[in-house]
Chains A and B, each alone.
Chain A
Amino acid sequence: MDTDWSVVVDSLPQLLEGAETTIYITIVGLIGGLALGTLAGMMRAYGGRILNAIAFAYIELIRGTPIVVQVMFLYFALPVLANIRIDPMSAAILAIIVNAGAYIAEIVRGAFLSISKGLTEAGLAIGLPHWKVLYYIVGPLAFRRLIPPLGNQFIVSLKDTSLFIVIGVGELTRTGQEIMAANFRAVEIWTAVAVIYLIMTGTLSLILRITEKRMRIL
């Protein structure tokens, strides 16, 4: 077997452009997912019967179906169903938001409910409204417990962006596929793609580990 690693150097600018798209989808998707997940998680933990049921249905629907099917639905089925046409990039970002949101909701719910009920009572007993108890007391404590599982989800979502190859978004995996199709250098190109993913997830892990270290887990 002969390998020629110079093809990696030649295609590096193109691969990095793909990686940039991957990062963009991940960051925007996770910001949205964090917002949606926090909302759904709070609805699960503290909402009344109706809000709880809505959040539960959303979480079960998303966790019970593959992300590839979700993005295909957004991109191909939504235009037919509701006459809403979206470009591949928006479909990809939306898929991450909706998908990560469901998993983050459960993480948020678990973290909030793991905080001792006595602390909530202590906050209520000095006359604070419930939302202030959650905001000032339970929230900051829950946040510390959120970081490790959230880190997992961030890494999963980053890697999930590779699945958007199915709707033709030019992220890293798709870019690798295109280069490979032109030069047939499978070993070199897929090695390079894998290493770039490793660098991205490794950086993410490092950031999370530093954040965790800086916070006292209480």
Chain B
Amino acid sequence: MSIIEFRNTSKHFGPLKVLDGVDLSIEAGEVVVLVGPSGSGKSTLLRCINGLETITGGDLVVDGLSVTGGSRQLREIRQEAGMVFQQFNLFPQLTALENVAFGPAKVRGQSKAKARETALDLLEKVGLRDKAGHYPSELSGGQQQRVAIARALAVKPKVMLFDEPTSALDPELKQEVLNVMHALAEEGMTMVVVTHEMAFAKQVGTRLIFMEHGHIAVDGNPREVIDTPPNDRMRDFLQHV
């Protein structure tokens, strides 16, 4: 069974249709890159997966659980689908270590010592063990985003959702975040990534989805569809990123 399954999923904001009957299955181990012009619905599609946006039509099933199944079920889904945000959103009153240990302790119910251990391991993994005691305001944007990735991983999700993870970063800081994501993909993590980084899409992505007006316009192999875009709108879009 697919790990994420959109079944004729719609999302309206008032009269505005942001997602219009989307059907999409994502299998475990896929690295799906979502691209498209602003307002095409790519971020909304991503945010529906962990219920930060409520779907208004159809169904959406994540790891066998429907996002329409109530708040308890939604929390279970969120533990299986970690999210990384454009603006990092680290908790500013907590150190890097405390940010990462927060999920294991408060969500997974680990002891303080165990959560700390989990957090240190993950900070090691994103190359920031030496920054464990720093507050977010003392870290660069790239470092903050790596801590945010560690924080999401700490809850042991099966899927990772990335919402423009490098868009708020200076060019030279993007690469350190992309490297961490690349390593994660190589470990076999299922990932859905909204991004404008076409090089990353070609190198790491196993599938590319181009969205337009709340529809999936193109769905294919990243290398193929980026090099020879199958539709004019996408060719046009690619010239501008």
The interface bits of chain B over 50-72 (1 if a CB of A lies within 8 angstroms of the residue's CB, else 0) are 10100000000000000000010
Q: Let me know if A48 is at the binding interface, CB within 8 A.
A: no
Whether the Cβ atoms of B75 and A121 lie closer than 8 Å is no
Whether the Cβ atoms of B107 and A128 lie closer than 8 Å is yes
A-chain residues with CB within 8 Å of residue B71 when the two chains form the complex: 129
Whether the Cβ atoms of A127 and B93 lie closer than 8 Å is no
Q: Let me know if B78 is at the binding interface, CB within 8 A.
A: yes
Q: Let me know if B82 is at the binding interface, CB within 8 A.
A: yes
The listed residue (B50, B83, B106) touching A132 by CB distance below 8 A is B106
Q: Which residues of B, 77-103, contact A by the 8 Å Cβ criterion?
A: 78-79, 82-83, 85, 87, 89-93, 102-103
Task: Tell me, in angstroms, the Cα distance from A137 to B93 when the chains sit together.
Answer: 8
Task: Tell me, in angstroms, the Cα distance from A125 to B47 when the chains sit together.
Answer: 10
Q: Let me know if A6 is at the binding interface, CB within 8 A.
A: no
A-chain residues with CB within 8 Å of residue B92 when the two chains form the complex: 119, 141, 218
Task: Tell me, in angstroms, the Cα distance from A116 to B87 when the chains sit together.
Answer: 11
Closest to A121 in B: B52
Task: Tell me, in angstroms, the Cα distance from A128 to B154 when the chains sit together.
Answer: 13
A-B Cβ contacts below 8 A, count: 62
Q: Let me know if B76 is at the binding interface, CB within 8 A.
A: yes
Whether the Cβ atoms of B87 and A118 lie closer than 8 Å is yes
Q: Let me know if A124 is at the binding interface, CB within 8 A.
A: yes
Whether the Cβ atoms of A124 and B107 lie closer than 8 Å is no
Q: Let me know if B152 is at the binding interface, CB within 8 A.
A: yes
B-chain residues with CB within 8 Å of residue A136 when the two chains form the complex: 102, 106
Question: Count the B residues whose beta carbon is within 8 Å of the partner chain — how many?
Answer: 26
The listed residue (A116, A118, A126, A140) touching B107 by CB distance below 8 A is A126
Whether the Cβ atoms of A127 and B89 lie closer than 8 Å is no
A-chain residues with CB within 8 Å of residue B89 when the two chains form the complex: 116, 118-119, 121-122
Whether the Cβ atoms of B78 and A129 lie closer than 8 Å is no
Whether the Cβ atoms of A125 and B75 lie closer than 8 Å is no
Q: Which residues of A, 128-143, contact B by the 8 Å Cβ criterion?
A: 128-129, 132, 136-137, 140-141
Q: Which of A127, A140, A141, A216 has the most CB of B within 10 A?
A: A127
A27 → B minimal CB distance (Å): 28
A125 → B minimal CB distance (Å): 4
Task: Tell me, in angstroms, the Cα distance from A121 to B148 when the chains sit together.
Answer: 13
Task: Tell me, in angstroms, the Cα distance from A141 to B91 when the chains sit together.
Answer: 9
Asked if A137 meets B79 with Cβ closer than 8 Å, knowing A127-B155, A129-B71, the reply is no
Q: Which residues of B, 120-159, contact A by the 8 Å Cβ criterion?
A: 137, 148, 151-152, 154-155
**A-B residue pairs in contact (CB < 8 Å), sample of 11:** A118-B87, A119-B92, A121-B85, A122-B83, A122-B89, A125-B52, A125-B78, A125-B82, A125-B85, A128-B107, A129-B75
Please provide the 4 A-B residue pairs with the shortest distance between their CB atoms, ordered closest to farther.
Answer: A122-B89, A127-B79, A127-B78, A118-B89
Chain B positions near chain A (C-beta within 8 angstroms): 50, 52, 71, 75-76, 78-79, 82-83, 85, 87, 89-93, 102-103, 106-107, 137, 148, 151-152, 154-155
15 further A-B pairs in the complex, CB-CB below 8 A; given A122-B90, A125-B50, A136-B106: A118-B87, A119-B91, A119-B92, A121-B52, A121-B85, A122-B91, A122-B151, A124-B78, A125-B85, A125-B152, A126-B78, A126-B107, A137-B91, A141-B93, A218-B93
